[in-house]
């Protein structure tokens, strides 16, 4: 079940990349001695790397993994990562590894999603694994792509053709107005050997930050949204190269890690994104507070068994369905349940009720 209004628009305007200037070396170039620029702080101490045709995957010093376009790397960083990839290659996580996890005997335990969990003085760091496959959304289809990455981290792999079946024949600039896309938000969560277990943000959780950290400590990735001006959350160096033309819009993302200093109250959440030019970044708490980041639900890793209390807390009972207004070929309804009030886009009131009751 999706809170559609938070993430209604998520396309981005990409500036044309400047062509790299080239200059031929003169016959005396070898006689000139220049100091080699230092490697960027981000990659200092990196443990492993893998460079493909378009992307570089790097296991950073703190255990986090990031994927960046090769063309975005500074020359000294590309040279360093190329050497690192040759000496300490980062093995690609293929689909087969995910299939093995899904078919594992439940007695062997849930998928181990946590790759870093440390406490150094007042500073706590938790980082879950990255998705097995990088995703680059088409148009404003972030709600589908975020769910694919959310499932991926938890051990439920979604094939790219399954995504295309949902988004094809829907208006990519505003797909949330099409019933097929809305239905896809629930169908993408089904069809696995083990049913994904979703844990919604409990009512009365405030900004949800404390709840989110506890879920990540348990190895559960989080479905979240940047519901207001997206550029407030984006890294400054990214914005300098890729102007944003959105405005007061929303964008669906996944959170798979955090840092938290309990003494100073400072920290960040690690974002998994669905833009090829910005696949992952850290969102500082000063940008996340005040409605800058909204958590919706967490997802148990494949194999984890929900407790009786969690199952009871997730049971949603519809109390009323109220029509608000038409949206394209569909309608917007307000659905009141024992867990709160939700906005649902559906063809009719009966479908809106069913989407909530069936956890779509």
Question: Locate tokens 């890793």: which residue?
Answer: 301
Q: Is the pLDDT reported for residue 42 higher than 80?
A: yes
Q: Which residue has the higher pLDDT, 224 or 72?
A: 224
What is d(CA 316, CA 358) in angstroms, rounded to the nearest whole number?
Answer: 9
Looking at residue 328, its pLDDT comes to: 64
Looking at residue 28, its pLDDT comes to: 38
Looking at residue 2, its pLDDT comes to: 46
User: 282-295 pLDDT, tens per residue?
Assistant: 999 988 888 889 89
Q: Which residue has the higher pLDDT, 136 or 16?
A: 136
Q: Is the pLDDT reported for residue 102 higher than 50?
A: no
What does the H/E/C string look like for the chain?
Answer: CCCHHHHCCCCCCCCCCCCCCCCCCCCCHHHCCCCCCCCCHHHCCCCEEEECCCEEEEECCCCCEEEEEHHHCCHHHHHHHHHHHHHCECCCCCHHHHHHHHCCCHHHCCCCCEEEEEEECCEEEEEECCCCCCCCCCCCCHHHHHHHHHHHHHCCCCCHHHHHHHHCCCCCCCHHHCHHHHHHHHHCCCCCCCCCCEEECCCCCCCCHHHHHHHHHCCCCEEEEECCCHHHCCCHHHHHHCCCCCCCCCEEEEEEEEEEECCCCCEEEEEEEEECCEEEEEEEHHHHCCCCCEEEEEECCCCCCCCHHHHHHHCCCEEEEEEEEEECCEEEEEEEECCEEEEEEECCHHHHHHHHHCCC
The domains found in the chain, sorted by start residue, are: 4-9+110-313 (3.90.70), 316-357 (no CATH)
Give the best-scoring range by mean pLDDT among 116-120, 242-246, 324-328.
Answer: 116-120
Q: How confident is the model at residue 32 (pLDDT cuts 50, 70, 90)?
A: very low
Q: Which residue has the higher pLDDT, 19 or 253?
A: 253
User: 187-238 pLDDT, tens per residue?
Assistant: 898 889 888 888 888 888 888 999 999 999 999 999 998 876 566 667 776 6
Q: How confident is the model at residue 299 (pLDDT cuts 50, 70, 90)?
A: very high
Q: Is the pLDDT reported for residue 33 higher than 50?
A: no
User: 130-170 pLDDT, tens per residue?
Assistant: 998 888 998 889 999 999 999 999 999 998 899 999 999 88
Point out the least confidently predicted range of 79-83, 84-88, 313-317. 313-317
Would the pTM count as exceeding 0.85? Answer: no
Q: How confident is the model at residue 60 (pLDDT cuts 50, 70, 90)?
A: confident
Q: Which residue has the higher pLDDT, 15 or 232?
A: 232
Looking at residue 244, its pLDDT comes to: 52
């Amino acid at each position: 079940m999706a809170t559609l209004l938070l993430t209604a628009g998520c396309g981005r305007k990409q500036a044309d990349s400047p062509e790299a200037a080239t200059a031929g070396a003169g016959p005396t170039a070898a006689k000139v001695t220049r100091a080699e620029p230092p490697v960027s702080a981000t990659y200092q101490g990196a443990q492993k790397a893998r460079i493909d045709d378009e992307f570089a995957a790097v296991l950073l010093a703190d255990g986090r993994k990031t994927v960046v376009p090769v063309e975005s790397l500074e020359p000294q960083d590309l040279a360093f990562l190329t050497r690192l990839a040759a000496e300490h290659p980062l093995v690609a996580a293929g689909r087969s590894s995910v299939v093995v996890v899904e078919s594992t005997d439940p007695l062997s335990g849930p998928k181990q999603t946590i790759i870093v969990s440390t406490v150094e003085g007042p500073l706590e760091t938790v980082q879950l694994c990255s998705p097995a496959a990088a995703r680059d959304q088409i148009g404003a289809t972030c709600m589908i792509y975020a769910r694919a990455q959310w499932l991926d981290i938890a051990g439920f792999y979604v094939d790219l053709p399954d995504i295309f079946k949902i988004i094809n024949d829907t208006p990519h600039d505003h797909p949330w107005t099409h019933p097929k896309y809305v239905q896809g938000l629930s169908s993408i969560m089904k069809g696995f050997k083990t049913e994904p277990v979703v844990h919604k943000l409990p009512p009365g959780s405030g900004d949800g930050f404390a709840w989110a950290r506890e879920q990540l400590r348990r190895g559960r990735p989080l479905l979240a949204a940047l519901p207001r001006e997206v550029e407030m959350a984006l890294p400054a160096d990214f914005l300098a190269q890729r102007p944003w033309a959105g405005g007061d819009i929303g964008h669906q993302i996944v959170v798979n890690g955090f840092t938290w200093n309990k003494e100073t109250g400072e920290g960040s959440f690690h974002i998994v994104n669905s833009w090829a030019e910005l696949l992952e970044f850290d969102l500082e708490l000063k940008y996340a507070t005040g409605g800058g980041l909204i958590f919706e639900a967490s997802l148990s890793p494949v194999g984890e068994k929900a407790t009786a209390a969690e199952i009871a807390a997730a049971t949603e009972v519809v109390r009323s369905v109220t029509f608000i207004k038409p949206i394209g070929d569909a309608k917007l309804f307000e659905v009141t349940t024992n867990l709160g009030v939700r906005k649902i886009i559906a063809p009719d009131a009966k479908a809106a009720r069913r989407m909530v009751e069936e956890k779509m």
